[in-house]
Amino acid sequence: MQSAPSSLIDLNIGPSGRAVAQPMDLDLLEALYQHTSLERVSSAQYLAMSLWFLERELRGFSSFFKNESLSEQEHGFNFAKYLIARGQTVELEEVTKPIQEWKTVQELLTLSFQMEADVTSSVQQIYSLAERSNDTRTTVFLDPVIDEQIKSEDEMAYLLGKVKFADNDPSALLIIDNELNNK
């Protein structure tokens, strides 16, 4: 006798009620939630940096960090969207208060470079969790994210290098600010 048609197939249903093609490993899921938060925390931190520059008449730096803030927000959204595509629900965490005080531009840039490196480490951790649980969908999702992180680290290192070279000299900082304004 032929088996019954597809209406009797048992589907995996996620917490949002969506059909799930491949259930997710719990550690991987937790890491993806944490990363979504990290992107949102980074977005708030970059916004604080943008305002710090705006208060100091450095509009080029300010707009650079405003764009960084917006792109981190977009990244956070993309991670949440990916979780939803995988049948999960997304509960948003509280965003921690950003640091708003720096003594020098170099100190600020050092933090922003470190933030990018931390985001990349977090993505790498998710990547290995995904590989361990044979979750190819997640590694494919992460590939362009890693590519973009390498570019962000490069850009931040370049800017930090220039600021270091300027050695807190206002006229040199104004030249960099001007370059960022014309981007």
Residues forming the site for Fe ion (CB under 5 A): 39, 72, 75
**Could you tell me the smallest distance in angstroms from the CB atom of residue 99 to Fe ion?**
18
Smallest separation (angstroms) from Fe ion to the CB of 155? 12
3-state secondary structure of 13: strand
- What whole-number distance in Å separates Cα of residue 159 and Cα of residue 40? 22
Residue nearer to Fe ion on the CB measure, 39 or 177: 39
C-beta of 124: minimal distance to Fe ion in Å? 13
59 touches 53 (CB < 8 A): yes
Least Å distance, CB 119 to Fe ion, is: 5
User: What is the nearest approach in angstroms of Fe ion to the Cβ of residue 74?
Assistant: 8
Taking the least distance from each CB to Fe ion, the nearer of 66 and 75 is: 75
Residue number, 152 or 173, with CB nearest to Fe ion: 152
Alpha-carbon distance of 13 to 125, in angstroms, equals 27
End-to-end Cα distance, the chain: 70
Our CB check for Fe ion shows the closer of 18 and 153 to be 153
Output 156 or 173, the one with its CB closest to Fe ion.
156
Q: How far apart are CA 145 and CA 118, in angstroms?
A: 14
Q: Extract the tokens encoding 63.
A: 């707009």
Residue in the structure block whose two tokens are 């962000």: 152
Question: Any idea which residue has 């001007």 for tokens?
Answer: 178
Residue nearest to Fe ion (CB): 75
Any alpha helices (H) in the chain, and if so which ranges? 26-55, 59-85, 105-132, 136-166, 170-181
